[in-house]
Amino acid sequence: MPSDEAPVLPESPQSSAADVHRLHPLSLLFQTAGSLRTLVLPLVLFLFFSPERGGLGAGRNLTWAGWFVGISVIIAVVKYISYRYCFAEKEMIVTGGVLFRFERHIPYERIQNIDLVQNVFHRLLRVADVKIETASGARSEAQLQVLSVDAVERMRQRVFAEREPGSELPGDTRADEREVEKEVTLLQLKPRDLVTFGLLSGRGLAVVLAGLGLAYEFDLFREEQFKKLEQIDPFAVEALPGLDGGGLAWPWIAAAGILFALMALRLLSVLWAFWTLHRFTLTRSGDDLRTSCGLFTRFTATIPRGRIQAITVTEGWAHRLFGYAAVKVDTAGGSHLEGKAATRSWVAPLIARNKLGALFDELQPGLSLEGLSWLPVDPCARTRLARRYCLLLILLSAVAGWWWTPWTFLALPALCLGVVWLARRQVAVMCYGMDGTAFAVQRGLWTRTTSLMWCGKIQVVDIKETPFDRRWGTASVGVDVAGTSDDIRVPFLGGGVAQHLSMELSAYAGRGG
């Protein structure tokens, strides 16, 4: 029998004024500046390259510029007035828009990261741009420009408290005290660490190569340029044998160019390290990791430990020489900060190799490289790689002999011996490890990469066979983990070994992580 009482509708987020929050008033300034930044180039071109630059035309140009600024201010005001966010019982609700309104419901349990972006002006005014991300991995679920730092901390406490069952709300002062007590600094890079990071990496390689390309484009390496040098400074020419017309100039110029390139490369790498990783800090608060870095624009990212899918350890040849490594983590969703991979985050751009075990305990307790039983790939991989490299050398020598000089073939035997040794060393590095709970793959000769993950977090296991694999009776086994962009694959496995490994990984993957 129908009831006479009216149904109780759920309360709209706008109806509860106590739970509704606005953006910071300074968002008007930052949103206007952001809109003008996108228009600055066309505005400058319009003002200085317009046919009407003087007299009455100049006044018209300034009028148009005023219209641009006015429209930007109106857009910022409309966004500030219409944008709201509130905290419901189990979800965060974000609303906005005037003509085209939107309302996004983001469950607390789906929120993985609350990331901050702060440039110099943000830090001076104690505000930040906030990006809320879930496991979708496509884009940020909500972008709040801008909030005060205190409002962001309250948001983090509320969201992460609601995300974990049984945790106290931020209104409980005892819970807040425990949250502060659990803040632990795991890693902090000092200036000397950044210098070391820059010297060990090669981030400036693209700039150096571009400079050498421009030098070649402007004919700076031709003999005519050295004749001009002789007219300017004859003593400099006499100091270097071969610059006096003897035909041996190119070895000295090549050596000087290589030396300059190496020095410029390391200098640019150090500058890049200070620009992007200045005051890098890794902290742990409860079950969440937080990273913060940047010289002028600081990025702060939150990484839930329970959402870490894989850990990647990278060691270049220089890292291995001095006992260092770099560590990144892949999460199901990840960071959408500008200039960074969508699902991969630094947790240790530089760390001593003997401290990896302690870092792994903080990232994923019980996950370690030491307890794994490492197994090699099939020995036929050495022959296959050696043949592949030798065939490539023969083709290159044929091209060089036809284009340059037939004497290139004299160096072919020595080069073939070198690539045979290279193939053996490369295969010696290829291995995989498994202990029933963790699975790891190691690969790379010059830059060694080790990917480590829980077996229960593996989602897909596949076997691939190329025509050459079928001829040699081998196959490759690959795994797919949520949020991982790399192709984690073990190549050159015997057919029986590949089938056994695939079945074992599939059994563990079916149990869930």
How confident is the model over 155-203, as pLDDT tens digits? 888 887 766 554 444 444 434 444 444 678 999 999 999 999 988 886 6
Q: Tens of pLDDT along 253-291?
A: 667 767 777 787 788 889 889 999 999 999 998 888 889
Phi/psi for 169 (5° steps) reads: -75, 160
Domains, the chain, ordered by start: 12-110 (no CATH), 198-276 (no CATH), 374-509 (2.30.29.30)
pTM: 0.73
Q: What is the pLDDT of residue 379?
A: 92
Q: What is the pLDDT of residue 134?
A: 77
Q: Tens of pLDDT along 30-58?
A: 888 877 776 666 666 665 655 555 444 55
Q: What is the pLDDT of residue 233?
A: 47
Longest CA pairwise span in the chain (Å): 110
Q: What is the pLDDT of residue 254?
A: 66
Residues 6+ apart with CB under 8 A from 259: none
On whether the CB atoms of residues 313 and 356 are closer than 8 A, the answer is yes
On whether the CB atoms of residues 160 and 139 are closer than 8 A, the answer is no
Q: What is the pLDDT of residue 71?
A: 79
What is the spatial distance between Cα 339 and Cα 357, in angstroms, rounded to a whole number?
29
What is the spatial distance between Cα 489 and Cα 476, in angstroms, rounded to a whole number?
7
pLDDT band at 367 (very low <50, low <70, confident <90, very high): confident
Q: What is the pLDDT of residue 511?
A: 62
What is the spatial distance between Cα 356 and Cα 195, in angstroms, rounded to a whole number?
20
Rg (CA), the chain: 30
Q: What is the pLDDT of residue 197?
A: 92
- Dihedral angle sign, alpha carbons of residues 501, 503, 508, 510: positive
On whether the CB atoms of residues 323 and 329 are closer than 8 A, the answer is no
Half-sphere exposure in the Cβ direction for 43 (13 Å, CA)? 15
What is the spatial distance between Cα 141 and Cα 474, in angstroms, rounded to a whole number?
44
What is the spatial distance between Cα 106 and Cα 108, in angstroms, rounded to a whole number?
6
